[in-house]
Amino acid sequence: MSNKMWGGRFGDGPDAIMEEINASIGFDQRFAAQDIRGSKAHCAMLAAKGIIAKADADQIEAGLDTIAREIEAGEFSFSRALEDIHMNVESRLAEIVGPAAGRLHTARSRNDQVATDFKLYVRDTIDHLDGQLAALQQAFLGQAEAHADTVMPGFTHLQTAQPVTFGHHCLAYVEMLARDRGRFQDARKRLNECPLGAAALAGTSFPIDRDQTAKALGFDGPTRNSLDSVSDRDFALETLSAASIAAIHLSRFAEEIVVWMSAGFKFVDLPDSLTTGSSIMPQKRNPDAAELVRAKSGRVIAAFSSLSIVMKGLPLAYSKDMQEDKEALFDALDALSLCLAAMTAMAGSLTANKPAMAKAAGAGFSTATDLADWLVRAANLPFRQAHHVTGTLVAEAEAKGIDLHELTLEDMQKVEPAITKDIYSVLSVESSVKSRTSLGGTSPDNVRAEAQRWRKHLNQA
């Protein structure tokens, strides 16, 4: 029996092993909605150009609508023998409308069909992810507004560096997520050219109107080179690159939640609904949601690496290797979407332990830079000299087992006679954060103003 998909060229049906490795319907059936949209646009164009009869086009469109309803209702039977979503839809269409179904594939190939479907799917997913990223920005913004004055330690090398506010820390993630949204939007803009009509690789001799199909599918216009149209997967790589960076950002905050919930910090807490217990230790409350966000970032990053490796050695135009472009992307974008939902829940519901944060903010000589800055301003010392004096005073306080503000004025003047009692006005963590008024600084007034700016921007978007 000849293979109906491949026509008369092949006498025998596919071997079981070939069918197993070749079939993609197990994962590309999620393209169903996009495949039907593309087919309806192609059919309308063929009829408008007189390439197929309007009566056939009407039957085809009605049949595609029926298939869409069957899939939506879970009544459609997907067949592995038919390889992919395109042939499954076409086969079912033939059952519904008869010979007219065979006219749908005029002037197109599965190569430009799948490229179009894939772009439509990625574009739809980017729009969904953008909404999720915006919701997470809102969650962080809510925390920033609530904690503009909440003092906490800022870290470098995970060592106490200078006091900051928790609100300022949250606004850092609002900025990161804005860049993530920008990267996805850039990827969306570049992918928004329609491959449909490129056919297998060389275009078609039929008098098609590619501008019509591009417009019908919401693209900015058609792609300009048929070879590139069917062999390009830059849009998938770029989307995965943006997804990888976004996943890294989520993983960084997940790591902070894990650290901050540990006994050594106790900076934040999560509700019971976002933590788990232990099967043997009844006292435990584990930040498993954060840990899983941290772990799933690896799946997203791996998908970008996987597709890069698939594409790096392929000659133009289409190769079957490119069937491997989908599973990893589906998994990665699914994982990112889930992580965004989980992180939005965590960011919106975590509670800050203000006393623990404030206590830690004052430890580790965190106001040493404020002391050095005071020496520059008030004593007119060059910064390098002020830095040396401050380091000497830190060593003195460390040797005595006290903090900087606990050193006596006499102790300080032995190191630098120009120091006066006014020095104590800059050694508190509250004074430190209030003084950081430069653009982008951590002062509470800055945080409130920046939060207000972001709130206005997000509400207008």
The model's pLDDT over 351-379, given as tens digits with 9 standing for 90+, comes to 999 999 999 998 877 788 888 988 998 88
The per-residue pLDDT for 7 is 57
The per-residue pLDDT for 61 is 98
Average pLDDT over residues 296-301: 97
The pTM for the full model equals: 0.90
Which stretch of 253-267, 278-292, 329-343 has the lowest confidence by average pLDDT?
A: 278-292
The per-residue pLDDT for 17 is 79
pLDDT band at 238 (very low <50, low <70, confident <90, very high): very high
The per-residue pLDDT for 199 is 97
| Whether pLDDT at 277 is above 70 | no
The model's pLDDT over 111-153, given as tens digits with 9 standing for 90+, comes to 999 999 999 999 999 999 999 999 999 999 999 999 999 999 9
Average pLDDT over residues 230-242: 98
- Report the alpha-carbon distance of residue 380 to residue 395 in Å, rounded: 22
The per-residue pLDDT for 71 is 95
Q: Is 281 left (phi over 0), alpha (psi -120 to 50) or beta?
A: beta
What is the rounded radius of gyration, in angstroms, for the C-alpha atoms of the chain?
30
Q: Identify residue 162 by its one-letter amino acid code.
A: Q
Whether residue 339 contacts residue 301, with contact meaning beta carbons closer than 8 Å, is answered with no
Tokens of 422: 């006014």
| Whether pLDDT at 283 is above 70 | no
The burial of 415, by beta-carbon neighbours within 10 Å (0-12 exposed, 13-18 middle, 19 or more buried), is given as middle
Exactly one of 2, 79, 262, 278 is catalytic; which is it? 278
Higher pLDDT, 208 or 4: 208
| Whether pLDDT at 8 is above 60 | no
Q: Annotated catalytic, 278?
A: yes
The per-residue pLDDT for 5 is 54
Exactly one of 157, 205, 273, 438 is catalytic; which is it? 157
The per-residue pLDDT for 2 is 41
Q: Is 199 left (phi over 0), alpha (psi -120 to 50) or beta?
A: left
